[in-house]
């Protein structure tokens, strides 16, 4: 029996209140696929998706926190 591939569940940060100039992230694929897809929030389904390896995404987020 095969299962359907997991779909990205897109979200925008609660810190993002700058009039739509933000990104959406689908962090739900990090554990199962080893990637974190990112897209422009203004274009939604039409935006190109960049998929970062989880280690690169974690490094990026940690650098922002510092």
| Contact predicate 35/49, CB 8 Å | no
- Does the pTM of the predicted model rise above 0.75? yes
Sign of CA dihedral 32, 66, 20, 39: negative
Q: Which domain holds residue 31?
A: 23-61
Determine, yes or no, domain membership for 50: yes
Question: What pLDDT was estimated at residue 63?
Answer: 95
Determine, yes or no, domain membership for 51: yes
Determine, yes or no, domain membership for 45: yes
Our count of domains for the chain comes to: 1
pLDDT digits (tens, 9 = 90+) for 16-52: 766 667 888 999 999 999 999 999 888 777 889 999 9
Determine, yes or no, domain membership for 47: yes
Determine, yes or no, domain membership for 53: yes
Determine, yes or no, domain membership for 42: yes
Determine, yes or no, domain membership for 7: no
Q: Which position has the higher pLDDT, 19 or 7?
A: 7
């Amino acid at each position: 029996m095969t299962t359907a591939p997991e779909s990205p569940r897109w979200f925008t940060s609660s810190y993002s209140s700058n009039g739509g100039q933000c990104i959406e992230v689908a962090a739900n694929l990090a554990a199962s696929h080893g990637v974190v897809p990112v897209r422009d929030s203004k274009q939604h389904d039409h935006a190109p998706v960049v998929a970062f390896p989880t280690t690169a995404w974690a490094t990026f987020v940690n650098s922002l926190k510092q």
